[in-house]
């Protein structure tokens, strides 16, 4: 762990008017620093290392879809969580990606400071660059603690963002098929 981080958290506690010497807070700077580093561990990962060669030859050219991938991220404006689901689809052109890798790619980008729109685009671009797919679609639906716990305090609003590349952008049918598949339970 970066040895400076606990020190900074102690300063934050002081800044909030707390007493970092009281019993309940004694280990909080260390714990909070550790937690925050875990929540941002995506900075320590790279796409190459995550994919690690898990690309398999396939003559399947039908849509591959992975839906309801749990997503935990932190908004870069408030450092507060946003939590939701990602749905990812692509149309292979000779190569398919190991299934767990799709979820790990989502996680790598989610575990960085983000805004939802950029996260959606980064996931789509990564899947595209790794698979050379004929098209990639990513939809993220998430609840933002910075909206729910502060500001407008809207408890039930879900933000939805999508990025469509290639066939998903060009063909209405392909896009509709994907959107129907992620809506069906
Ligand atoms: Zn925010």
Distance from residue 69's CA to the centre of ligand 1 (Å): 21
Distance from residue 176's CA to the centre of ligand 1 (Å): 31
Q: What is the pLDDT of residues 20-51, one digit of tens each?
A: 999 999 999 999 999 999 999 999 999 999 99
Higher per-residue pLDDT: 147 or 107? 107
Res. 178: pLDDT tops 80: yes
Query: Which pLDDT belongs to residue 41?
Result: 97
- What rounded mean pLDDT belongs to the chain? 95
* Strands 113-114 vs 64-75: parallel, antiparallel or unpaired: parallel
Distance CA 179, CA 20 (A): 50
Query: Which pLDDT belongs to residue 102?
Result: 97
Distance from residue 70's CA to the centre of ligand 1 (Å): 19
Q: What is the pLDDT of residues 78-108, one digit of tens each?
A: 999 999 999 999 999 999 999 899 999 999 9
Provide, for the chain, the percentages of residues in helix, strand and coil under a 3-state DSSP scheme, each rounded to the nearest 5. 45, 25, 30
Query: Which pLDDT belongs to residue 121?
Result: 98
- As a dihedral over the C-alpha atoms of residue 99, residue 113, residue 36, residue 50, rounded to 10 degrees, the angle is 30
| CA 110 to each of CA 77, 85, 123, 146: distance values in angstroms, whole numbers, following the listed order | 15, 11, 9, 16
Active site members: 75-78, 116, 144, 146
Query: Which pLDDT belongs to residue 157?
Result: 86
Query: Which pLDDT belongs to residue 99?
Result: 87
Give the chain's radius of gyration (CA, Å): 19
Q: Which domains does the chain have, with CATH numbers?
A: 4-39 (no CATH), 52-183 (3.30.1130.10)
């Amino acid at each position: 762990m970066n040895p400076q981080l606990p020190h900074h958290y102690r300063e934050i506690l002081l800044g909030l008017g707390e007493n970092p010497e009281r019993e309940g807070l004694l280990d909080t700077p260390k714990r909070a620093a550790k937690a925050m580093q875990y929540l941002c561990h995506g900075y320590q990962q790279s796409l190459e290392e995550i994919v690690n060669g898990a690309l398999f030859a396939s003559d399947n050219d039908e849509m591959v879809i992975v839906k309801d991938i749990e997503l935990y991220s932190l908004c870069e404006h408030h450092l507060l969580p946003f939590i939701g689901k990602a749905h990812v689809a692509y149309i292979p052109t000779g190569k398919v990606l190991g299934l767990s890798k799709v979820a790990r790619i989502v996680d790598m980008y989610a575990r960085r400071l983000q805004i939802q729109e950029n996260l959606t685009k980064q996931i789509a671009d990564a899947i595209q660059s790794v698979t050379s797919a004929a098209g990639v679609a990513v939809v993220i639906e998430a609840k933002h603690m910075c909206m729910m716990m502060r500001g407008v305090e809207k408890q039930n609003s879900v933000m939805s963002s999508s990025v469509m590349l290639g066939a998903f952008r060009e063909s209405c049918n392909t896009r509709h098929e994907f959107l129907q598949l992620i809506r069906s339970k």
